[in-house]
Amino acid sequence: MSTPPPDKPSDKGGPPRKPPEALHRDPWFVWLMMAVFFSYFWLAQGQDQQSPLLPYSEFIQSLESGEIGRVEIRGLDLSGGYNNSDKSVDFRTRLPEFIGDEFLQKLESADVDVNVKSSETPVWVNLLVGFLPWVFIIGVFVLLSRSVQSRMGGMGGLGGGLSFSNSKARRFEKKEGGITYDDVAGLEGAKQDLGDIIEFLKNPEKYQALGAKIPKGILMMGAPGTGKTLLARATAAEAGVPFFSITGSEFIELYVGVGASRVRDMFLTARKEAPALIFIDEIDSVGRIRGTGMGGGNDEREQTLNQILAEMDGFDPEDVVVVLAATNRPDVLDPALLRPGRFDRKVVLDLPDKAARVAIFQVHTRKTPLASDVDLKKLAGMTVGFSGADIENLVNEASLRAAREDRHDVTSDDFLVAREKVLMGDERPNLLTSAERERVACHEAGHGLITFYSEHSDPLQKISIVPRGRALGVTEQLASEERHNFDEDFLRDRLRIFMGGRCAEQLLYHNCSSGAADDLKQATKLARQMVVNWGMSKDVGPMGFAEGERHPFLGRELTEPRPYSEALAEKIDEEVKQLLLRAEAEAMELLDKHRQGLDKLMAELLEHESLGSEEVVACLS
């Protein structure tokens, strides 16, 4: 599958937003008043602060010595200048609280020019000081409100009220060169299921004449990267109708009731432009099972879900509005959402098989010049378990490698290196010491030998002791075909392979290392699944409990009891332990039997670092 850049939303979708500059232009009067206020006090106090503060006693001495030429009295504040001074103010001082007429007589006798001014503040200054705090508070409120609105969907002016409850769904228009079903490879079954919807939207009379009704909702279920969103956009383009897209998390905001309001607004907009498509991506974020009672945030989510249920039930038969939804967790969705009449049709998008992977490679390499040694069928066989998004990433990594080496085409080696990088990460060649390198070689040789002699396992592809990502080494198996069902022989071989590295270390070094931690974790998980989920234990019996699938934050009850007794739990633990001990014993026996092959394989790994399947066969045959 290809993932071209998303179509540009049209101006019709969502509420209009003001440009960021408008936020700063609107409250100009607030900034003006603040500037006037601070300028006044700065000018009023700045001039006084330029002249020195003279103690009153020194002022009297200067007055008696005839140095003072002029004074200005404003209440108890006095400023003045000396004789023969060009400055308007040479000094300032503070008069005593109870000064009498004698002070004025001293000024007159000293022949000083006296100017007395009122100490009262002008009326306009009092008004300014009284109103400015309120203007400042209101201005801050306006700024904060508009800042919040710019993040939550805009605000229609001071008189328009808050509009963040409007739908955040984006409208996409069909355009030249947009996504079509030709860009969606490997999903032929899903495209056929959605083809009925396209045909109904284009030619409703054909179906209505037979009494058929268009499904109100279509739920696309699949693992991440399988093309759910891409398929929805291609469906909208093929149908040629207005397409509104939103993610489930965009319904929920800080304020209670916003989610339900956005749902109402979204459906109202879609009905006005019917026939139309609404696409809700990641619907599990808002459509999880109700009833956990885990607080206000959960109640808001439930209100939003209730509104979605009501809107899907309340469609006017004349309004052709189809809801497409995508999720990778259908098990956590509310049953009311899945019933017929809401999501009538479920479309499952599995990981692509080999033929689908070939088609996906063809789509993603349309614009990639390939070397003559590139075989897309071979690449498809080496990418079992890859999703469409994984294949797109693989092609891109291969192209980047070719570009770094200044080549004009992408070779098969580029794809092989890119595959290892996607699966395991970049190489870290100088990470291990010589002793650690030998131990890793022993560990991986153990895995490789057990894999080689396991009849029911997938064939060995490669053994490497070059550290990549978080792995110090890797023994890679390549499935000859996709597996959807696992028999007990295959699973027991898997347990032996997991134990092979640890047993090889015990055989050669007579102790274990921490390198087997992930092997033990995976082996324990697999053994427990065999006993608890798949009934592969004679002592426990053919019982399945689906243990490990419950989680309180996915809409389950917090206190849901374990579905078996303590006695049975002890028996399950014992059976898991016996499975692992049996696998360990069988692996140790096989390694001891082929000890020479183990030593030889370890030596080859230390010399060459990586061995392919043919080299391993030559070493062990």
Give the number of other CB atoms < 10 A from CB of residue 106.
14
Q: Is 225 annotated as a binding residue?
A: yes
* 55 preceded by a cis bond (ω within 30 of 0): no
Q: Is 224 annotated as a binding residue?
A: yes
**Angle at which helices 517-528 and 566-593 pack, to 10 degrees?**
130
Q: Are 473 and 465 in contact (CB under 8 A)?
A: yes
Q: Are 418 and 394 in contact (CB under 8 A)?
A: yes
Give me 562's structure tokens. Answer: 């374990």
Q: Is 443 annotated as a binding residue?
A: yes
Q: Is 364 annotated as a binding residue?
A: no
Q: Is 447 annotated as a binding residue?
A: yes
Q: Are 113 and 71 in contact (CB under 8 A)?
A: yes
| DSSP H or E stretch at residue 247 | strand 243-247
**How far is 598 from 446, CA to CA, in rounded Å?**
7
Q: Which of 344, 326, 151, 342 is nearest to 246 (CA)?
A: 326
**How far is 443 from 461, CA to CA, in rounded Å?**
17
Q: Which of 238, 250, 253, 444 is catalytic?
A: 444
Q: Is 327 annotated as a binding residue?
A: no
Is 482 an active-site residue? no
Do β-strands 77-82 and 68-74 pair in parallel, antiparallel, or remain unpaired? antiparallel
Question: To which residue do tokens 């800042």 refer?
Answer: 147
Q: Is 223 annotated as a binding residue?
A: yes
Could you say which DSSP state residue 560 is in? P
Q: Which of 247, 318, 314 is nearest to 278 (CA)?
A: 247
Q: Are 215 and 198 in contact (CB under 8 A)?
A: no
Q: Is 228 annotated as a binding residue?
A: yes
Q: Is 319 annotated as a binding residue?
A: no
Contacts of 420 (CB under 8 A, 6+ apart): 468
**How far is 427 from 323, CA to CA, in rounded Å?**
46
HEC assignment per residue over 422-438? HHHCCECCCCCCHHHHH
Give the number of other CB atoms < 10 A from CB of residue 177.
7
Q: Are 62 and 68 in contact (CB under 8 A)?
A: yes
- Residues contributing to the annotated binding site for Zn(2+): 443, 447, 519
Q: Looking at the annotation, which residues are catalytic?
A: 444
Residues forming the annotated binding site for ATP?
A: 222-229
Binding residues: 222-229, 443, 447, 519
